[in-house]
Amino acid sequence: MEFDTEHEAYGFYNIYGDRLGFSIQKEYFNNSRKTGKFLMRLFTCCKEGAGKNDRKDIHTKIPRSETIIGWGARMHIKYNELNGKYLVDNFVESHNHPLIIDECTHMMSSQRCISSVQAIDVELASNSGIAPRNSYELMAKQVGCRESVGYIKLDQ
């Protein structure tokens, strides 16, 4: 599979993650040291990776729950200099954790976004003296419910 831009590849994997029930993240990228051109990028499930264990640290008062589970699902792309496109080099579908149900996928970090229209509304509300919490509630009432807003209060 090929993409014209890295952004298109990210969008594809984000839609794929939304349909299956997982959030994605950009893990690492590699540039050429000589030319500075993009060479490769890795997109993974947000629960993939090697997290540090703070339970062993004696200075940690309240240990966090384990969210990083290990390596599993990922999509690796490389830049093809011959045609100027981004080629999927490696694609792993398997997950080592339960996936999110459809009713909750809108809450995943990679799926949430504030549209430009919503950003203007938030700015207008702020300039009018409306608190961010109240402007979020206003947005929710305009679209019918909080789930349909497309972002959470924290994103504001």
In the predicted model, what is the mean pLDDT of residues 110-115? Answer: 71
Instruction: Report how far apart, in Å, the C-alpha atoms of 8 and of each of 68, 77, 86, 87 are.
Output: 26, 11, 9, 11
Q: What are the residue boundaries of the structural domains of the chain, listed by start?
A: 2-101, 112-156
Whether residue 80 is predicted with pLDDT greater than 80 in this model: the reply is yes
Q: Are 45 and 55 in contact (CB under 8 A)?
A: no
**Residue 16 — φ and ψ, nearest 5°?**
-60, -45
Token look-up 């209060």 returns 153
pLDDT, tens digit, for every residue of 13-70? 888 888 887 888 888 878 877 777 778 888 888 766 555 555 556 666 666 555 555 5
Its pTM stands at 0.62
Distances (CA, A) of 110 to 44, 82, 84, 103, 147: 11, 31, 27, 15, 15
Q: What are phi and psi of 129, to 5 degrees?
A: 90, 10
